[in-house]
Amino acid sequence: MNSRTARPPSIAWRLALAITLILAAGGLLITVAAYAYGRQAAGEAYDRLLAGAAFEIARSVSVTSGRVVVDLPTSAFELLALAPKDRVVYRVLDRDGKTVTGYDAVPRPPQSADDVVFYAAEFGGETVRLAATRRRFAERAYSGEVGIVVGHTTRARKALARDITAKALMILVAAGLAMVALTVFAVRSSLRPLGRIERAILDRNPKDLSPLHVSSPREIETIVVAINRFMDRLARRVTVMQTLIADATHQLRTPIAALRAQAELAAAEENPERLRSITRRIHQRTVGLSRLADQLLNQALIIHRADAVEQQRLDLRAIAVRVAEETDHDLPEMGRDLGLDLPDDPVEVRGDAFSLVEAAKNLVNNAFRHGERPVCLTVETLAGEGRAEIAVTDNGAGVPTCHWADSGRRFASTAGSSARDAGLGLAIVNAVAEAHASRLEFSRTADGRFRAALRLPLQRDAGS
């Protein structure tokens, strides 16, 4: 029940919210801008009207026997009547500032050199917009300017400004609706591949862990890739598990059978002398079996870690020191003979310390068990190749050259090499090498010593 109330957020809703916010903010901005523009446009349009009327009246002014005469043209007022609901004011002034005709109360224009001046004033309790122009007379009887002022109230301007704004807003609303519709369409069509992926996963056989093949856009391709990577890991894990079980079964069956035979033999044996020798053999077998079990479990653990544990920056020298310590602890009779050859500077790589220690220990064990002493653990920086190396050398014959290539494979040891249980150990080393983007390499040193090395990529910004 709870899960229903706390449903995860929906992309569509988020987009709807975002678009609503954008549209609201944009709408507000555009409304303000449209109104400002509308007012300006309306103002300019009606100012031109006023100027036209003023010019027409100016043209009708004449001077007759020293007197200014205005033959007011009706057309000028018809022009003003294009602002149909506005009151009209006008005034003609002679050079002395006396009213020739019109409303005495119309305020005089401000001083200006322009042909026509626009100004606002209060007239009869209402704001009026006025245009003033002048006409110069240079006649014997009258020399000077006649001023013409025409104005009207601002109803038509405001109405036009509102009209322009309203139309702009209508377009805005239409655009907004179109945007919403397009968004809905875009969201639906872009989420459709997710549906296809869902169906592809649901439709497949539960045992089928092969990669998905779903056509999808680039953005969603990453999801498919992630799913495929995950499936790949899953498939590998399953395979590893199956292999591990198969290995364990195979490797444990023979020693356990031998142990059982020895135990049966011991049960039937009367002679205490022989019984003791059988018991000693049983003990040896048991020790071998326990090491085998250890290795199997270690391998499983390391393979698990390769997939699951995040690699960290570490110093290979520290790994080598830990290997030496643990060897000393596990194999006290050999540990003292392990030579360590470490550089002075840190050798930084990325990796999983536990896996690397296990791998190196396996190499050391193999060397002690199958090679000849002195065994030496070396850490080296190969700056030229951008790699670092942790290597074990011994004096033994080592892995026969013909097995160098396939030595990492499981059971390779059973193929008859002298190193009976080295196979499983090398398989672990190989698994670790794989997890660290490196490989196990065998070689002979210049003085003929056998050398097994793990080459890891150097941490790029090492030393910084």
Q: Does 88 bind other proteins (CB under 8 A)?
A: yes
Q: Does 74 bind other proteins (CB under 8 A)?
A: yes
CB 55, min distance to other proteins, A: 16
The interface region with other proteins, picked from 43-51, 74-82, 192-200, 366-374 by CB under 8 A, is: 74-82
Which amino acid appears at position 261 of this protein? A
CB 90, min distance to other proteins, A: 8
The three-state secondary structure class of 367 is helix
The three-state secondary structure class of 343 is coil
Under a CB-based contact definition with an 8 Å cutoff, are residues 289 and 252 in contact?
yes
Applying CB under 8 A, among 41, 45, 81, 212 the residue interacting with other proteins is: 81
What b/e sequence results for 308-337 when a residue is b if at least 16 CB atoms lie within 10 Å of its CB, and e otherwise? eeebeebbbbbbbbbbbebbeeebeebbee
Q: Which two tokens stand for residue 70?
A: 């205005």
- Comparing CB distances to other proteins, the nearer of 126 and 294 is 126
Q: Does 102 bind other proteins (CB under 8 A)?
A: yes
Q: Does 124 bind other proteins (CB under 8 A)?
A: yes
d(CA 196, CA 221): 12
- Comparing CB distances to other proteins, the nearer of 115 and 126 is 126
The interface region with other proteins, picked from 121-129, 234-242, 334-342, 392-400 by CB under 8 A, is: 121-129
Q: Does 125 bind other proteins (CB under 8 A)?
A: yes
- Residue span 198-217 as binding mask against other proteins, x where in contact by CB under 8 A, dash where not: --------------------
Under a CB-based contact definition with an 8 Å cutoff, are residues 78 and 71 in contact?
no
Which amino acid appears at position 399 of this protein? V
Q: Does 85 bind other proteins (CB under 8 A)?
A: yes
d(CA 118, CA 373): 110
DSSP run (H or E) holding 376: strand 375-382
- Comparing CB distances to other proteins, the nearer of 83 and 426 is 83
For every residue of 291-341, DSSP letters joined together read HHHHHHHHHHHHHHHHHHSPPEEEEHHHHHHHHHHHHHHH-HHHHTTEEEE
Q: Does 73 bind other proteins (CB under 8 A)?
A: yes
CB 39, min distance to other proteins, A: 21
Applying CB under 8 A, among 16, 41, 72, 259 the residue interacting with other proteins is: 72
Which residues, 6 or more positions from 374, have their beta carbon under 8 angstroms from its beta carbon? 337, 339, 394, 395
DSSP run (H or E) holding 196: helix 155-203
Q: Does 84 bind other proteins (CB under 8 A)?
A: yes
Applying CB under 8 A, among 80, 342, 379, 427 the residue interacting with other proteins is: 80
Tokens 């300019």: give the residue: 44
Q: Which two tokens stand for residue 295?
A: 């290795």
Binders of other proteins among residues 31 to 70 (CB under 8 A) are 69-70
Q: Cis before residue 374, ω within 30 degrees of 0?
A: yes
Count of positions on this chain that bind other proteins (CB under 8 A): 22
CB 182, min distance to other proteins, A: 41
Task: Give the closest residue to 355 by CA, choosing from 290, 246, 426, 435.
Answer: 435
Q: Does 159 bind other proteins (CB under 8 A)?
A: no
- Residue span 333-372 as binding mask against other proteins, x where in contact by CB under 8 A, dash where not: ----------------------------------------
Q: Residue numbers of the site for other proteins (CB under 8 A)?
A: 69-74, 77-78, 80-81, 84-89, 100-102, 124-126
